Structure 1
Amino acid sequence: MKVSIIIPVYHVEEYIERCVLSVLKQTYRPLEVVLVDDCSNDKSIEIAKRTIEENSPTSTEFQFIKHEKNLGQSGARNTGIRNSTGDFLYFLDSDDELADDAINNMMEKQKGFPEVEIIQGTMVHALDNGNVDVNHMSFVKDNRSIRKLFFSRNSFLLESACDKLIKKSFILCNNLFFKEGIILEDYHWLNYMVKKVNQIAFVFQPTYIRYLREGSTMTSLTREREIRNIGIILKDFVVSIDEPCYDEQLFTYYNKFLTYYGASKGEYGFNELYVTFRNLFFRRKFYKMGILMILYRKRFFYKEANIKARIRGYMYHNINAFFERKDCC
């Protein structure tokens, strides 16, 4: 089966050679590499092409696609999805790299579980003392179990769209394209992916090396921009809550809401989200959470920071207690 590696390229001239070389070292065939130029005005594409010309195995296929306007990482990935020809897709950020034989190790796993929609690798955080995401599972075979993992605060294995070998047919059949015009697109995409996937297999060998560089989307993210995008994402999430694990989704999303609510000052849609969450808690008979939300907004508490902090603490306590239940999901 053919694998397509999709690499969005934008202002990464210092890192693209490392990324491309790690791809060229892969031994699995047939292999396609799709590099999407998202209107980068530095030498990233020039360096990538030169690196390929000097080092490329003749059996690896390459596509270079150039956007007419900048669409962001979501748009670049979507372009890669639409133009790729592989049976499996793999998203690689252009400032990261693949471990040796990563694709081969993941496809070997696929042979043992031919029905899986996703093979999840093991990510190494290069600038965090080589910290490795630890996972002890080999295979999860039903959607409820996958949702339970994702919404139980044990979702490190699903924290990024990268380092996953994904059946292209699974993406297309479920319309799992990335939402364009936002940052934190992985967080948004993963929420919808876990609601559709039925089988995931896991590879224990390191497959992906992640670097957190200065100037990347995450390191250059301003607080205001982060809050605005979280508001957009949560508005999508609250209307998508479904079974199974309805309440787990509700509490997960509310936990994220509570993290940003105070700093939002009710802007960016957070006042509307407040009403939605309050109504959902009462509808699902989580009356204590609903009442705490009402108290938290009472005007006579506005100047009593210590009282508001205590109410906020009670809400976090209730969230933690919910996820510690034995009958969770």
Structure 2
Amino acid sequence: MSKVSIILPAYNVEQFIGECLISLVNQTFKDIEIIIVNDGSNDSTLKIIENWRGKDNRIEVINTHNYGAGSARNRGLRFAKSEYVIFIDPDDSCEETMIEELYSAIIKHDVDIAICNYYEVKEKGRIKMVVGGPYNKKILNKDEKNVLFNVNPTPWNKLFRRKLLIENNIKFPVDFRREDLFVISCSLMMANSIVCIEKPLYNYRVLRPGSATQANAKTLTDVLEILKLIKEYAISNNIYNYWFEEIEMISLKYGIMWYKISLNNCSFKNIRKYRYDYINFFRSNFNHFKSNKYYIEQNGSVSVQRKILDNFLFTKVGPYFIYLIYKLKKEIKRKKDL
């Protein structure tokens, strides 16, 4: 039995999957299994995967219909045999010591999750991104509850103890975008402890065409549904009161972020629906969020411009005004690029 299972969902990534697999098979930590879930690709992705399977017997391939990344990850998790698992995206790559350093940290500190910093990879180069600390130290969640909204809500820079996910029935929602937010939030709430590594060990490719990162007309609706699922999960596991302010802060942070992204990408006719969904979500779930201790603390450090913009999102005309500002900025940029 391998010590670490690497789960890789793959759908139409012929341009990137080779680079990703090179970074995985060349890991300095050799005791791994690489589970590739081909999610109904109709390009040459499967051919490339099968070629790699012929070269490395640590690679297993599961073929499915196109049910989405969440379903593919769930299937890979069911198939995994190792004590520890990590979910990698097929258009990204890992530094060659990534698994070794995460595994060493999770064993040394006897924690449920090990997290590393990462690089954002863009056309002009890569930028180091920080997930926060303290580094190389066992962090008990009950002592550092703000990790719930400070840690990036993505699975690819995190090594999990598999039983944390299995025993607590933490799965990727399959009907929504941004399903990562649910899994990371719930696993952090249910984990006893985590450890963070300061070294950036993952290369995250930003906004490739067709990637799940890009917003479409459905994204904000899905984010709000995911936030509801996080609340429901906490209630069903009798931890909601304990984590209430942190769950509220997650909802504020990602609700506002994806509301802005959606306004930047939506059509004019969708603004009214987005505004209704957004305001109704907070009225129904977190009607007194302005008294949240984290919100008060954060609000003291943000600019006046940011405060006005965030409050403007709750007004009738605000979303329309912000939408027009985004369109104007895009038009100015388009003319500059001509």
Q: When the two structures are superposed, what TM-score results if normalisation uses the length of structure 2?
A: 0.74
> Deviations for 1:18-68, whole angstroms, at most 9, x for unmatched residues?
0111111013232101000111111102112213434x3xxx52211111x
- Between the aligned partners of 2:108 and 2:92, the Cα distance in structure 1 is 28
Does the aligned pair in 1 maintain the 2:11–2:41 contact within 8 Å? Answer: yes
- Between the aligned partners of 1:268 and 1:4, the Cα distance in structure 2 is 42
State the partner residue of 2:153. Answer: 159
State the partner residue of 1:172. Answer: 166
State the partner residue of 2:335. Answer: none
- Between the aligned partners of 2:100 and 2:289, the Cα distance in structure 1 is 47
- Between the aligned partners of 1:276 and 1:245, the Cα distance in structure 2 is 18
State the partner residue of 1:99. Answer: 95
> Deviations for 1:2-31, whole angstroms, at most 9, x for unmatched residues?
111000010000111101111110132321
Structure 2 counterpart of 1:225, one-letter code: K
For residues 84 and 251 of structure 1, do their structure 2 counterparts lie closer, same or farther at Cα, with a shift above 3 Å needed?
A: closer
Alignment of 1:75-224 (within 5 A): 75-113=71-109, 115-127=110-122, 129-134=125-130, 135-136=132-133, 137-151=135-149, 155=150, 157-212=151-206, 213-219=208-214, 221-222=215-216, 224=217
Question: Helix, strand or coil for the counterpart of 1:33?
Answer: strand
Does the aligned pair in 1 maintain the 2:141–2:194 contact within 8 Å? Answer: no
State the partner residue of 1:249. Answer: 247
Quote how far apart the aligned CAs of 1:235 are.
Answer: 2.6
State the partner residue of 2:281. Answer: 273
Q: When the two structures are superposed, what TM-score results if normalisation uses the length of structure 1?
A: 0.75
- Between the aligned partners of 1:16 and 1:80, the Cα distance in structure 2 is 17
Question: Helix, strand or coil for the counterpart of 1:130?
Answer: strand
- Between the aligned partners of 1:268 and 1:40, the Cα distance in structure 2 is 37
Does the aligned pair in 2 maintain the 1:20–1:52 contact within 8 Å? Answer: no
Q: Establish whether residue 231 from structure 1 lines up as the match of residue 229 from structure 2.
A: no
Question: Helix, strand or coil for the counterpart of 2:115?
Answer: strand
Does the aligned pair in 2 maintain the 1:254–1:277 contact within 8 Å? Answer: no
How many residue pairs match? The answer is: 285
Quote how far apart the aligned CAs of 1:95 are.
Answer: 0.5
Does the aligned pair in 1 maintain the 2:114–2:195 contact within 8 Å? Answer: yes
Gaps of 5+ in 1: 289-294, 310-329
- Between the aligned partners of 2:144 and 2:251, the Cα distance in structure 1 is 17
Quote how far apart the aligned CAs of 1:201 are.
Answer: 1.5
Does the aligned pair in 1 maintain the 2:148–2:189 contact within 8 Å? Answer: no
Gaps of 5+ in 2: 264-270, 297-310, 323-338
Question: Helix, strand or coil for the counterpart of 1:14?
Answer: coil
Stretch moving more, 126-135 or 186-195: 126-135
> Deviations for 1:240-288, whole angstroms, at most 9, x for unmatched residues?
472334224324414544563984536785464243146555999xxx9
- Between the aligned partners of 2:244 and 2:19, the Cα distance in structure 1 is 43
Does the aligned pair in 2 maintain the 1:139–1:199 contact within 8 Å? Answer: no
- Between the aligned partners of 1:47 and 1:191, the Cα distance in structure 2 is 34
For residues 149 and 51 of structure 1, do their structure 2 counterparts lie closer, same or farther at Cα, with a shift above 3 Å needed?
A: same
Counting aligned pairs with the same residue, the percent is 22
Match for residue 62 of structure 2 among 39, 60, 65: 65
Structure 1 counterpart of 2:273, one-letter code: K
For residues 100 and 272 of structure 1, do their structure 2 counterparts lie closer, same or farther at Cα, with a shift above 3 Å needed?
A: same
Stretch moving more, 229-238 or 115-124: 229-238
Quote how far apart the aligned CAs of 1:122 are.
Answer: 2.2
For residues 274 and 158 of structure 1, do their structure 2 counterparts lie closer, same or farther at Cα, with a shift above 3 Å needed?
A: closer
For residues 268 and 3 of structure 1, do their structure 2 counterparts lie closer, same or farther at Cα, with a shift above 3 Å needed?
A: farther
Quote how far apart the aligned CAs of 1:197 are.
Answer: 1.2
Quote how far apart the aligned CAs of 1:199 are.
Answer: 1.1
Quote how far apart the aligned CAs of 1:191 are.
Answer: 1.7
State the partner residue of 2:329. Answer: none
Does the aligned pair in 2 maintain the 1:34–1:84 contact within 8 Å? Answer: yes
Q: Establish whether residue 36 from structure 1 lines up as the match of residue 31 from structure 2.
A: no
- Between the aligned partners of 2:73 and 2:80, the Cα distance in structure 1 is 10
- Between the aligned partners of 2:86 and 2:106, the Cα distance in structure 1 is 14
